[in-house]
Amino acid sequence: MITIKGLSKSFGSQTVLDKLELVLPKGQATGIVGPNGSGKTTTIKTVLGLVKPDEGEVLVDGIEISGNWEYRNKIGYMPQTARYPENMTVNELFNFIKEIRGNIPSVEQRLIQHFGLEAELNKRMRTLSGGNRQKVGAVLSMMFNPDILIFDEPTAGLDPRSSVQFKRLVKDQKEEGKTILLTTHIMSEIEELADYLIFIVEGKIKYHGPMDALIKKHKEQRLEGAVAKLMEEEAA
Amino acid sequence: MKTLTILKYQWKDLFRGKWIIGYALIYWLISDALIRFGGAGPKAMLSISNIMLLLVPLVGMIYGSLYLYQSREFTKLLLVQPLNRKTIFWGLYGGLAIPLAAAFTFGVTVPMVYSGMLFSMAVHSILMILVLGIILSFLFTGIGFWIGLKYFEDRIKGLGFALVGWLFLAILYDGLVLLAIFILGDYPIEKPMLAMSMLNPIDLARIIVLLEFDISALMGYTGAVFNRFFGSSLGIVVASLSLISWTLVPLLRGTSRFKKMDL
């Protein structure tokens, strides 16, 4: 469970998060949408402790995260742009992260197979294509079976086949009762993977609730239309 | 323990980059040449320490400030793992400072071994030079790290400050001291001068070298004041203590900055 209370953050004079309140119950899959620069990535980075908030607090399973790092054991994160140390081979990277985690049981073999990464294992990260790097990121995020999964535009660099592979995996994780938080600009992806939707504009949450309710409210067939209407309302 | 894991992977990466080997070779070549031409005596030793006083700060500061930009991906990878930021900081720092110090020690020691200098000269003089080089490596890598963290978003600025900082401490500072003596020579400026020399770690290291080899002619004004004020052995102790605080302060500031940073 992730609880965000009164979270504010500004970079210089620009306010990115404005007293954000959010509760993500355990086992819920939530998608965050919003225009570019609305604070989606900053929200995620704050939960991960990468960005330090100006005000407010974040609790993961009831524990305040500031000054705390053990909670990251429970989180798997896949960043927007997968960039990893260039000289490391894929295998070295996996082994390194395993060592960092104290060699706890991991399922990377299964994930490597799932994504068909076997042929890439001895290649340097620098020589990997963007899509394969993204897959490495996906393996890293799920290999320790964490309770909370955070994906920041996960399928942005993936080809359709890998994208389907990835989504299948996330659905499995969802069925296992994992808490999932993802951002994306592809509405169909949220329809497929999430049950709840957060619409965020200029660091404020404008809508947070079940996806079907939003679609019904706006008398639309698809999420895309409903979100477009939300955005239009915002702009007006 | 986890710091060690981080260190191990960085060292592997450094050796792959090969420049650290080149850095050690530079010291090897310079020391070899100086010993060949200057004889295996205190003269060569002094020349080696002069090179050390210029080169170690330069490389430490520039590489220290650039290293953080260069290992951005590695840092970001570590930050989302269950690791303390302190652990990450010391891992990154040790990942650079220890190999730099080792390259210096290796490059300088090898020619001393095969030229027989290591056995003909007083052990404490040689140890003194080696320890000084190691301390300077740690000290300036620390300052470089601090500069790199302060200008994390702007690498040109970071590099610029590192270069200007080196230029100031290694070259301009002496000129300023001379100027101060020239202008204020009629006043009792010994104690302010003493303070001034403590404000420059390169000056401190030079004073230690000169006190150790007892070369008053080369001591310069600050060195002479130091010698008169503290005498040789106490002078070395005081200078070493200031050097250690010079090492610790940027590192402590660096860690506290790193802990609060948005990355």
Answer for the pair A122, A88: CB distance below 8 angstroms, yes or no.
no
- Using alpha carbons, select from A176, A170, A174, A173 the residue that is nearest to residue A184: A170
- The shortest CB-CB distance from A50 to any of B13, B72, B262 is to B262
From the options 1.25.40.10, 3.50.50.60, 3.90.76.10, 3.40.50.300, give the CATH code of A2-235. Answer: 3.40.50.300
Residue A216 has what pLDDT? 84
For B43, other C-beta atoms within 10 Å of its C-beta total 14
How far lies B247's CA from each of B106, B138, B143, B151, B158, in Å?
Answer: 22, 7, 8, 20, 19
Q: CB distance B5–A49 less than 8 Å?
A: no
Sorted by where each begins, the domain ranges of chain A are 2-235
Which tens digit of pLDDT belongs to each residue from B223-241? 777 777 777 678 778 888 8
Residue B65 has what pLDDT? 92
Q: CB distance A101–B260 less than 8 Å?
A: no
The residue that leads in pLDDT, A236 or A183, is: A183
Write out chain B residues lying below 8 Å of A48, CB-based. 79-80
Q: In what helix (H) or strand (E) does residue A183 lie, and over which residues does it extend?
A: strand A179-183
- What is the spatial distance between Cα A208 and Cα A153, in angstroms, rounded to a whole number? 19
Which tens digit of pLDDT belongs to each residue from B51-81? 999 999 999 999 999 988 888 888 888 999 9
**% of chain B at pLDDT higher than 90:** 40
Residue B216 has what pLDDT? 58
Q: Is the ipTM of this complex over 0.90?
A: no
Laid out side by side, the sheet with A63-64 consists of: A14-24, A2-11, A55-60, A63-64
Q: CB distance B82–A71 less than 8 Å?
A: yes
Amino acid at A111: L
Residues 6 or more apart from B129 whose CB is under 8 A from it? B45, B48, B49, B52, B108, B209
Kindly tell me if the per-residue pLDDT of B35 is higher than 70: yes
Kindly tell me if the per-residue pLDDT of A80 is higher than 90: no
- What is the spatial distance between Cα A193 and Cα A66, in angstroms, rounded to a whole number? 30
Sorted by where each begins, the domain ranges of chain B are 2-260
Which tens digit of pLDDT belongs to each residue from B77-123? 899 999 999 999 999 999 999 999 999 999 999 999 888 888 887 78
- Using alpha carbons, select from A95, A96, A89, A130 the residue that is nearest to residue A109: A95
Answer for the pair B257, B142: CB distance below 8 angstroms, yes or no.
no
* Mean of pLDDT over chain B: 87
Write out chain A residues lying below 8 Å of B260, CB-based. 52
Kindly tell me if the per-residue pLDDT of B260 is higher than 90: no
For A150, other C-beta atoms within 10 Å of its C-beta total 24
